[in-house]
Amino acid sequence: MSKKAWGGRFATELNETALRFSASVDVDKRLYPQDIRGSIAHVRMLAAQGILESAEAEKIEKGLNDVLARIEAGEFEWRVDREDVHMNIESALTEAIGPVGGKLHTARSRNDQVATDMRLWVRDAIDDTVTRLDRFLGVLVIRAEGTVSVLMPGYTHLQRAQPIRLAHHLMAWVEGLERDRARLLDARKRVNESPLGSAALASTTFPLDRERTAKELGFDRPLRNSLDATADRDFLLEVLSVLSILSVHLCRIAEELVLWSSQEFGFIEMSDAVTTGSSIMPQKKNPDMAELVRGKTGRVIGNLVNLLVTTKALPLAYNRDLQEDKRPVFDAFDTVRDSIDILALCLAGTNFRDDRMRAALADGFLDATEIADFLAARGMPFREAHHVSGRLVSRAIREGKTLPEFSLDELREESELFDESIHEALDMEIAVERRNVYGGPARARVEAAIREERATLEARGIDLALLSEETGAQPVIRYEDEG
């Protein structure tokens, strides 16, 4: 946009290099639906308040809709010399309907305009992300329903620790993602306040109805302070913080898929649709999509740091630095969106090897805690019972045995509290079932958690039967005949 277009203050044009450096239209043109929507709400309010004639407002609104149609048809020319999405649209409007188009900007600044656009865009992006999360949660529930009977090692420090159900592990992923969903919706409350009418920083002398524009645009209320409304981007920082936490959860899921698909684990086989080969090693089947989800986490976190640094020392009110708020926000939402979708695709088509998971239970003394609990239940202080179990593990390692292979007499050498029921207690299925407390891995508890989440998703409008059909979620693959 020529500097002369801003009035008589400037005698020369902006330097061409400075124009290219300061133009943002290549990034912020993405805001065009929100920009036009906000402009229509603004012009309707101007007419209702008698600031514009009704005929003028109608002409402007029709012109804006025509511009929108041209953009969506791919017939709109985005011009760098017009700097940003706002001036591209307003200039095109004025070219189409004449000088009356300039009245659109009455009682408005690009400062409150862009803040409004970003809040509208982020609100839409949150809603889209939540919808995608619900579909991913649905895939996890479908897979959990099919794996309740599958036992696997639970890990701490990446060391086999105690037996659990695979479904319990999948539902642990669900819990973290549900909190992410709740954080997004909580942040949405603070996004959903309207800056429109705050103008450059000190509102306006025109008798605006900010409640009207806020309501028409679906905001809960207008922001209370015009300086704050135009200058603060804490709502973006909050959303990027939530997206970073969500991205970390997605990364942890991706990391476990990578580990489980390795030959060292062999717990899963991912579908051909989400794996790749090697340029020189024909035997390879690499979990590239999960690795990329893991790798892209750094981008999302980096976007948060980017905006934190951009805003950390800005005085009130608006500063041009805030032009840089859009790229990190757009990129973070895009990255998280794609990561959610790709992990849903990965989980839908993954084959779970229950034979490999069960075999892993036999190595690593995952039943050692059962011995300690057995003795503690019979009156031995748990710390002493822990030592007894540890001595038995040490002896088993020396003798090349598993704990169930000790005879009752051998066990009673460590404690007279052992009786015939100890070997039943060391059965992995029984060990898992004994953990029948709320939040535990016993079958009834896991099935209850799955039913609760299924009901939650169905109440949100997720048709799990249709989702299963759409995603092709596979049942657990059993290999019992392979020994």
- 163 forms beta bridges with 153
Sequence letter at residue 368: A
Bridge partners of residue 286, in order along the sequence: 276
* Residue 278 annotated among the catalytic residues of the structure: yes
Beta pairing partners, 181: none
Alpha helix stretches (DSSP H) within 207-325: 210-216, 226-231, 234-261, 288-311
- Beta pairing class for 151-156 and 159-165: antiparallel
Quick one: which of 73, 3, 6, 72 has its CA closest to 36?
72
Q: What is the DSSP letter of 353?
A: B
User: Of 157, 261, 386, 468, which residue is the catalytic one?
Assistant: 157
Give yes or no for a contact between 297 and 250, defined as CB atoms under 8 angstroms apart: yes
The three-class DSSP label of residue 276 is: strand
Catalytic residue, candidates 2, 149, 262, 278:
278
**How many other CB atoms sit within 10 Å of the CB of residue 278?**
10
Backbone φ and ψ for 242, nearest 5 degrees, come out as -65, -45
| CA gap 393, 178 in Å, rounded | 39
**Residue 207 burial (CB < 10 Å; 0-12/13-18/19+)?**
exposed
User: Tokens 């990255």, residue?
Assistant: 335
Question: Is residue 231 exposed (0-12), middle (13-18) or buried (19+ Cβ within 10 Å)?
Answer: buried
Measured CA to CA, the distance from residue 422 to residue 167 in angstroms comes to 27
Residue with tokens 């340029």: 279
What tokens were used for 272? 């051909």
d(CA 304, CA 241): 6
Residues classed as catalytic: 157, 278
